[in-house]
Structure 1
Amino acid sequence: MRKFLLQTSFVTMSLCPLFSKAQTQPAAIIDHINQRFEQYTRDNYRQQLYIQTDKTTYLAGETIWMKLYCSILAFGDVPDMSKIVYVEVLNEKNQPVLQQKLGIHEGLGEGFLTLLPTMETGNYTLCAYTKWMQNFGEEYFFKQPVTIINTFEQLSLVDSKQSKKAIIKFATNGGQLVAGVKNFVAYSIKDPAGNGLEASGKIVDNAGNFVTDIKPGKFGIDSFSFTPQSNKKYKALIHFNQQDTIVALPEVKDQGYVVTYSMKDHFTIMVETSMPVGQTYYSTVVQNNGKITAVDVAPVIPDATNPKNHKIHFYFKGKNPIREGVNEITVFDNEYNIVGQRLFFQPPTAKLNITTKVNKSIYGKREKVDIDVATKDSSDQTVPANLSVKVIRKDQLDLNKVDDIQSYHMLTSHINGIVEEPAYYFAGSNNVVEDANMLLLLQGKYSVDWSAVFNTKQPKFLYAPELNGHIVTGKVTNKRTGKPMPNTMVYLSIPGKQVRFFATTSDDNGYISVEVPGYYGDGDLVVQPAPQDSAAQIAINSPYYVHKEQPIFHTTQDVILTKAAVNDLKQRHREMQIQQAFFGDSLTLLAYKGPTDSAAFYGPPDEQFNLDDYTRFRTMEEVFREYVPTVMVRKHSDGLHLLALDKGLNSPKFFDRDPFILLDGVPIFNNKKFFEYDPLKVRKGSVVAHQYIYNNLKVDGIVSLQTYKGDLDGYQLEPYVTVQEYNGLQYPRAFYSPQYDGRSRNNRRMPDYRNLLYWSPNVKIGNDGNGKVNFYTCDIPGEYLIVVEGISTNGQVGYTYTDFKVE
Structure 2
Amino acid sequence: MKRYKFLMIAAFWCVSETMNGQSIPVNNAEDTIICAERIYVATDRGAYLAGETMWLSLYCVDANDGGTLSATSEVAYLEFYNASDLVLTAKTWLSKGRGAGSIELPTALPTGNYILKAYTKHMYNELVPVIFEKTIPVYNALTNDRVEDNVAVSHLQDDSFTTGFRLHELSMGYSDSIVGFAFNEGGVRVNAGQNFSFLLENKTLDNITTNVSVFRKDSVSVFGANNIVNTLGKLDVGAGFRWHYLPDLEGEVISGRVVCDSPLDINGAVMSFSVVGEPSLVFMTLLDRTGGFEVYTPPFFGNRKVVVEFPYLNDVTGLDILLDDSYIKEAPTYFPKLLLNESIASSLLERSIEMQIAHRCGLDTIYQYVIPYKDPLLKSNPVVYKLDDYVRFPAMQEVIVEFIPELRYRKREGKTYLQVRLTNEFRALSFADQGTLVLLDGVPVFDHSKILEVDPLKIESISIYTDEYSIGHLKFTGVVIFNTYNGNHPGISGEKNTFIKDFDGMLYPSFMSVKMKDYPENLPDLRSLLYWNPMCNIDGKSSREIVFKTSSKKGEFIILVEGISANGNPFFDYAEITVL
Q: Same fold (TM over 0.5)?
A: yes
Deviation for aligned residue 1:132: 1.9
1:471 counterpart residue number: 253
1:353 and 2:130 are equivalent in the alignment: no
Write out aligned runs for 1:399-418 (5 A): 399=222, 401-410=224-233
Deviation for aligned residue 1:712: 0.8
Deviation for aligned residue 1:47: 0.5
1:575 is paired with a residue whose SS is helix
2:153 counterpart residue number: 159
1:97 and 2:91 are equivalent in the alignment: no
CA contact (8 A) 2:203 2:540 kept: no
Could you state the TM-score of these two structures normalised by the residue count of structure 1? 0.59
Q: Which of 471, 487, 495 pairs up with 1:718?
A: 495
Deviation for aligned residue 1:787: 1.7
What is the rounded CA distance, in whole Å, between the counterparts of 1:387 and 1:619 in structure 2? 56
Deviation for aligned residue 1:714: 4.4
What is the rounded CA distance, in whole Å, between the counterparts of 1:658 and 1:75 in structure 2? 47
2:535 counterpart residue number: 762
CA contact (8 A) 2:121 2:246 kept: yes
Q: Provide Cα deviations, 1:106-148, integer angstroms capped at 9, x if missing partner.
A: 2122221111122222221112122322434895221101121
Write out aligned runs for 1:13-412 (5 A): 37-43=28-34, 45-76=35-66, 78-81=68-71, 82-93=73-84, 95-136=85-126, 139-154=129-144, 158-160=152-154, 353-358=178-183, 360-376=187-203, 382-399=205-222, 401-410=224-233
2:330 counterpart residue number: 547
1:315 counterpart residue number: none
1:324 counterpart residue number: none
CA contact (8 A) 1:54 1:66 kept: yes
1:487 counterpart residue number: 268
Deviation for aligned residue 1:50: 0.6
CA contact (8 A) 1:54 1:65 kept: yes
RMSD: 3.9
CA contact (8 A) 2:57 2:534 kept: yes
Q: Provide Cα deviations, 1:276-302, integer angstroms capped at 9, x if missing partner.
A: xxxxxxxxxxxxxxxxxxxxxxxxxxx
2:486 is paired with a residue whose SS is coil
Deviation for aligned residue 1:642: 4.0
2:33 is paired with a residue whose SS is helix
Write out aligned runs for 1:270-669 (5 A): 353-358=178-183, 360-376=187-203, 382-399=205-222, 401-410=224-233, 448-449=239-240, 459-464=242-247, 466-477=248-259, 479-481=260-262, 485-496=266-277, 498-532=279-313, 535=316, 537-548=320-331, 550-554=332-336, 556=337, 559-581=338-360, 584-587=363-366, 589-595=367-373, 601-604=377-380, 608-634=384-410, 638=414, 640-643=416-419, 657=434, 659-669=436-446
1:158 is paired with a residue whose SS is strand
What is the rounded CA distance, in whole Å, between the counterparts of 2:469 and 2:534 in structure 1? 44
Q: Which runs of 5+ in 2 are unaligned?
A: 2-25, 157-161
1:567 is paired with a residue whose SS is helix
Change (3 A) 1:771 1:686: closer
What is the rounded CA distance, in whole Å, between the counterparts of 2:28 and 2:176 in structure 1? 27
Amino acid at match of 1:469: G
Q: Provide Cα deviations, 1:265-324, integer angstroms capped at 9, x if missing partner.
A: xxxxxxxxxxxxxxxxxxxxxxxxxxxxxxxxxxxxxxxxxxxxxxxxxxxxxxxxxxxx
CA contact (8 A) 2:192 2:553 kept: yes
What is the rounded CA distance, in whole Å, between the counterparts of 1:721 and 1:509 in structure 2? 20
2:152 is paired with a residue whose SS is coil
Larger radius of gyration: 1
Change (3 A) 1:608 1:753: closer
2:13 counterpart residue number: none
Q: Which runs of 5+ in 1 are unaligned?
A: 2-34, 163-192, 196-218, 220-347, 415-445, 453-458
2:187 is paired with a residue whose SS is coil
Deviation for aligned residue 1:685: 2.5
2:339 is paired with a residue whose SS is coil
2:159 counterpart residue number: none
What is the rounded CA distance, in whole Å, between the counterparts of 1:772 and 1:112 in structure 2? 23
1:88 is paired with a residue whose SS is strand
Q: Which runs of 4+ in 1 moved over 6 A?
A: 348-351
What is the rounded CA distance, in whole Å, between the counterparts of 1:787 and 1:350 in structure 2? 12
What is the rounded CA distance, in whole Å, between the counterparts of 1:751 and 1:391 in structure 2? 19
1:395 is paired with a residue whose SS is coil
Identity over aligned pairs, percent: 26
Change (3 A) 1:92 1:767: same
Q: Which one scores higher on RCO, CA 8 angstroms, separation ≥ 6? A: 2
Deviation for aligned residue 1:362: 4.5
Deviation for aligned residue 1:626: 3.0
1:432 counterpart residue number: none
1:531 is paired with a residue whose SS is coil
Change (3 A) 1:658 1:767: closer
What is the rounded CA distance, in whole Å, between the counterparts of 1:757 and 1:141 in structure 2? 31
CA contact (8 A) 1:145 1:402 kept: no
Deviation for aligned residue 1:690: 7.3
